[in-house]
Amino acid sequence: MILHRLLGRGPAILLVCLVATFATSAVAQPNPGLSQLGGYAYIDRNNDGILAFSNQANPEFALPDISISLFSKVGAVETLVSTKLTDANGRYLFPDINPGTYVLRQTQPNEYVDGLDTLGVLQAFNGGVIAPPASPGIAGDNFFTDIVLTANVGGEFYNFGERGLNSANVSKRLLLASAPPLPPVVPEPGAVGLIVAAVGGLWSWWRSRR
């Protein structure tokens, strides 16, 4: 499936007074006490480890059908929880997982040159403070390990980057998805988080009215 690249145009005026309204806007949250982990697989054309979305300059290309596996970790032992393929927007998500320590592993696609993998961030679904032992973990080559999730705390933007087709596949015609859409809006604690949520919510509303 090929998605048309979205134009990075937005409303000329941001109504700051709507901050409080959109601060409560969020993607579907896990059941109370549970958490989630998610991110994207994409072509990192400038190899900076930063995923540019469809409303940003020089948006990246999303990679569908990339295999991402979630493991629970106890001590040095990893146990497979689930494996998923990224969707047409390069997105993967493991919802409703129990608090604990986790590892995310990507199966490196043979046709691509390996790129930078970017450690994600933790977000509190109830707008509370993220306290120890919660930890975003450690980034490695095609994996993120020692991600510690507590109740109602999720991890987002655990992104796997690729540099592009390798020499053996560069002549093949490959249909890539366009840039991923705007990321999900999740409330973050504090005034900055409210503004971030408001901007994302207003942008989504404006696009839906076009």
Look at residues 105, 100, 94, 104 and name the one whose alpha carbon lies nearest to residue 148. 100
Give a yes or no: residue 14 inside a domain: no
What domain count does the chain have?
1
What does the H/E/C string look like for 132-164?
CCCECCEEECCEEEEEEECCCEEEECCEEEEEE
pLDDT score at 167: 76
- Cβ contacts of 114 within 8 Å, gap of 6 or more: 108, 141, 142, 162, 163
pLDDT score at 72: 98
Give a yes or no: residue 9 inside a domain: no
Residue 118 contacts residue 184 (beta carbons within 8 Å): no
Give a yes or no: residue 18 inside a domain: no
CATH number of the domain that residue 119 is part of: 2.60.40.10
Domain encompassing residue 126: 29-180+187-208
116/163 Cα distance (integer angstroms): 8
pLDDT score at 85: 98
149/138 Cα distance (integer angstroms): 13
pLDDT score at 86: 96
Burial 189-206 (b: 16+ CB within 10 A, else e): eeeebbbbbbbbbbbeee
How do the pLDDT tens digits run along the chain, 210 residues long? 323 332 233 332 222 222 222 233 334 567 888 999 999 999 998 899 999 888 888 888 999 999 999 999 999 999 999 999 999 999 999 999 999 999 999 999 999 999 999 999 999 988 888 989 999 999 999 999 999 999 999 999 999 999 988 877 765 555 555 667 766 544 444 444 433 444 445 444 444 555
183/36 Cα distance (integer angstroms): 15
Look at residues 104, 101, 121 and name the one whose alpha carbon lies nearest to residue 69. 104
pLDDT score at 29: 67
Give a yes or no: residue 3 inside a domain: no
Whether this prediction's pTM lies above 0.85 is answered by no
Residue 146 contacts residue 72 (beta carbons within 8 Å): no
Give a yes or no: residue 132 inside a domain: yes
